[in-house]
């Protein structure tokens, strides 16, 4: 952990059960891939916090190394890296995302 961004990223991941590192914010995503993951999370009725990497170059670069993942968005559930847009979409379509959320004890409110 020699990268100063890693400490901040870890704190952001620990701050909420579901954390999405994205471009823009859930109200105004600034990239189609980020928008898709927001949509999936909203559809699942999951409360999540988000980090706008466009506002923070240190996080934007740091998160790629932190997760060993070259692209944004990146989804973390209970401190664990789940994946980017493709994986989250595939998991959602297969019902695996919902199963993972349930397994981690995260409330999914279908009415949301």
Partner 1 sequence: MAMPASEIEALIKTAFPDAQITIEDLAGDNDHFAATIVSEAFRGLPRIRQHQLVYAALKGNMGGALHALALQTSAPE
Interface ranges with partner 1 (CB under 8 A) = 33, 64, 68-71, 81-87, 90-91
Distances (CA, A) of 39 to 7, 43, 59, 87: 29, 6, 23, 14
Residue whose CB is less far from partner 1, 26 or 83: 83
- Min dist CB 83 to partner 1, Å, is 5
Task: CB nearer to partner 1: give 46 or 63.
Answer: 63
CA atoms of 17 and 3, how far apart (whole Å): 24
Taking the complex as a whole, how short is the minimal distance between the CB of residue 34 and partner 1, in angstroms?
12
């Amino acid at each position: 952990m020699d990268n100063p961004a890693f400490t901040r990223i870890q704190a952001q991941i620990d701050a909420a059960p579901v954390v999405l590192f994205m471009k823009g914010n859930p109200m105004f995503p600034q990239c189609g891939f980020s928008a898709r993951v927001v949509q999936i999370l909203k559809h699942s009725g999951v409360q999540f916090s988000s980090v706008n990497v466009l506002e923070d170059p240190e996080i934007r670069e740091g998160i790629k190394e932190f997760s060993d993942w070259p692209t944004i968005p990146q989804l973390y559930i209970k401190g664990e890296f789940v994946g980017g847009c493709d994986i989250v979409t595939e998991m959602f379509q297969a019902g695996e995302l919902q199963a993972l959320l349930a397994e981690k004890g995260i409330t999914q409110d279908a009415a949301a």
